[in-house]
A and B are shown apart, each in its own frame.
Chain A
């Protein structure tokens, strides 16, 4: 046991080793995680909350439901409407998916090599990349040459831009507290954040940033276009909005992107507010460069991501949908003022106590 600890503790990765770790994390951990997210949260939680039967019945312990769904989509005809702008129509889902997968690159899953791209301004990068998906949505809405798709695309654009602002503002509180835009530094800051002086363990930022956490979660829910903010894909009003003309594999890509984005945003929330890959484990709490973190970090992060995703889907399955004007009112009259007030409070507190 101690040999392993020594071995991991003395690990000084060469370039090829760190590249291997990065490839493993991006190539294996993320897709597996997304898959587990899809199976566990989409299907099991959905079945449990909504009394659906499939995920209990399909295959052993209902685990083959995802396989059945993917198989169903793959055998559907790939339709492109006659009046559609074909290139834009075909490209749109992949732009959304790509913007999602780039998100994963900047999220630290452990000490330094366990991050695909340690961008110095990580938060800025992530928030910028996540808003690229708006372009994909607009493209899909416009290129479908369908009135419902157009309404959905325009609703999506309005909503995603309106909720970008509270999201950025909510992240500002964390940045002020950590003193850095780098996600790795934010995790380190939370590892050294003692909210109650010397008493107690290091605490994640959520204990002092709860209002901003709630604002951020609301904005995430809106960015994901999930209930109660699912106006752009309201299936009972505008028949899934910008996705209405998509079928078969392209719809599957939309579907995967939706859940992969949920996973990505859950990872961001865990990193900003819940301490990321760090947990104050006795014995390891002070040694942030210990080799154990390469092993424990991804597991801790993944657990936190699962908890946050659970909250996202819980809200999704509970609430009915807002109307467009009510949705905008919520953003401009509540979320943005709350975050502005809390940023002020945080800044004053940081100046006074640090």
Chain B
């Protein structure tokens, strides 16, 4: 319903509108909607980003997930507890052992079982190694996103050192399915600890190389410093976690502050890396330093693996008593949590997975306004998501 206004006022309003329209006609171009994805190299998966452009500038930008939804939460309701690890392996597929751990810990919490010390140690080592495999690939992929293709080859090459060691223990490069309620499937193979120490050295060398090639590069810094700044309060309110939040200066790491029983981070000497800037460079830098810290954690744990069994006494057929539990751990991409509801059956009554990438990309519309198209790619690359982790 139009408001009744005096005639002269209306004429003035119409004249002003017309003048505006003339100015707009002269200075503004018609916008363009650009679908970045679902098939696009920068989304490494099938994420779709609807970007509204004005020239090269992005006026609004919205991620549309769901192209790879596989319904793992619902599927888990018809799987027994040991079978669920097979599904959750496929969430963050480049560091997949880490996906199993919080689920197993949640089930162990419900059953009131604790893994023996040796199993806890090896579990922590493998957990950190999947972080290494994940973030080494991130550092390489960062190069590809920013136009330096060389880094991605180095990333893929040096990640193999870690994956080979994971494969030597678990038998699977990507989907180990190795964690069990009450311990681990197998013990370490002979000579594994010495070999892994060599691999850790190689990963440390990779860090130096990528720092030389990419992170310290002038053009990289020009592209990433001051771009995509996420202040700490915005990061917290959007539920960011992991390196994305620590790069905004929030000193919070679940491994240190809220470590789930069953992982032995309290027995090693390491520190949480933060950066005050909150821009793309900070996120990349924090991840690079975290790889170095992870190498330190692994090296210390490898020296102190205790002897003993790798499996606690658990029944052959696992029935989890009635109850609810929530366990979260600091996964490579951020905080991953499993909320398990059990009715005392063979399979969970309800499983809710809190995946880090889903929350991490939720900040994209906020942070990618008014930037240029290349900056959207930089922001996406530095936020670092894995599509399986978004779509579940």
Contacts and interface: CB of A to CB of B under 8 A. Distances in A.
Contacts of A234: 147, 374
A313 to B, nearest CB: 11
Interface in B46-72: 56
Interface string A134-165: 00000000000001100100000000000000
A51 B154 contact: yes
A319 B374 contact: no
A52 B153 contact: yes
Interface string A178-207: 000000000000000000000000000000
B364 to A, nearest CB: 15
B144 A236 contact: yes
Contacts of A147: 32, 34
B83 interface: no
A33 interface: no
B213 A237 contact: no
A322 B219 contact: yes
Contacts, number: 77
Contacts of B149: 50, 227, 317
Contacts of B223: 320-323, 326
Interface string A226-245: 01101100111111000000
Contacts of A323: 222-223, 372, 374-375
Contacts of A307: none
B351 interface: no
Interface residues of B, number: 29
B53 to A, nearest CB: 8
A121 interface: no
Nearest to A49: B150
Contact of A321 (B147, B213, B372): B147
A317 B217 CA distance: 13
A348 B389 CA distance: 65
A26 to B, nearest CB: 33
A57 interface: no
B323 interface: no
A151 B150 contact: no
A318 B220 CA distance: 11
A325 B150 CA distance: 24
B143 interface: yes
A324 interface: yes
A236 B42 contact: yes
Contact of A324 (B42, B153, B374): B374
Interface string B2-43: 000000000000000000000000000000101000001110
A238 B42 CA distance: 9
Interface string A70-108: 000000000000000000000000000000000000000
Residue in B42, B157, B373, B375 with the greatest tally of chain A CB atoms within 10 Å: B373
Given A50-B153, A319-B219, A325-B372, A236 B145 contact: yes
A318 B150 contact: yes
B148 A322 contact: no
Contacts of A148: 34
B146 interface: yes
A321 B219 contact: yes
A323 B150 CA distance: 18
B69 to A, nearest CB: 24
Interface in A297-354: 317-326
Interface in A48-63: 49-52
A318 B40 CA distance: 24
Contact of B148 (A52, A237, A320): A320
Given A49-B150, A50-B153, A234-B147, A320 B220 contact: yes
Given A319-B217, A320-B220, A227 B148 contact: yes
B377 interface: yes
A237 B223 CA distance: 14
B132 interface: no
Contacts of B143: 320
A169 B136 CA distance: 44
A191 to B, nearest CB: 38
Given A52-B153, A318-B213, A319-B217, A228 B372 contact: no
A151 B377 CA distance: 15
Interface in A256-296: none
Contacts of A326: 222-223
B247 interface: no
B214 interface: yes
B147 A151 contact: no
Contacts of B220: 320
Interface in B222-242: 222-223
Interface string B260-286: 000000000000000000000000000
B153 A321 contact: no
A231 B374 CA distance: 9
B41 A235 contact: yes
Contacts of B146: 236, 320-321
B41 to A, nearest CB: 5
A287 B108 CA distance: 90
Contacts of B373: 151, 237-238
B173 to A, nearest CB: 18
Contacts of B154: 50-51
A51 B41 CA distance: 21
Contact of A51 (B40, B157, B217, B374): B157
21 contacts: A50-B149, A50-B154, A51-B154, A51-B157, A148-B34, A227-B148, A228-B219, A230-B147, A236-B41, A236-B147, A237-B373, A237-B377, A319-B148, A320-B148, A320-B220, A320-B223, A321-B219, A322-B223, A323-B372, A324-B372, A326-B223
Interface of B: 32, 34, 40-42, 56, 143-150, 153-154, 157, 213-214, 217, 219-220, 222-223, 372-375, 377
Query: 4 closest Cβ contacts across the A-B interface?
Result: A321-B147, A320-B148, A320-B146, A50-B153
Given A319-B147, A320-B146, 19 more contacts: A50-B154, A51-B157, A151-B34, A151-B373, A234-B374, A236-B42, A237-B374, A237-B377, A239-B41, A318-B148, A319-B217, A320-B147, A320-B223, A321-B219, A321-B374, A322-B222, A323-B222, A323-B374, A324-B374
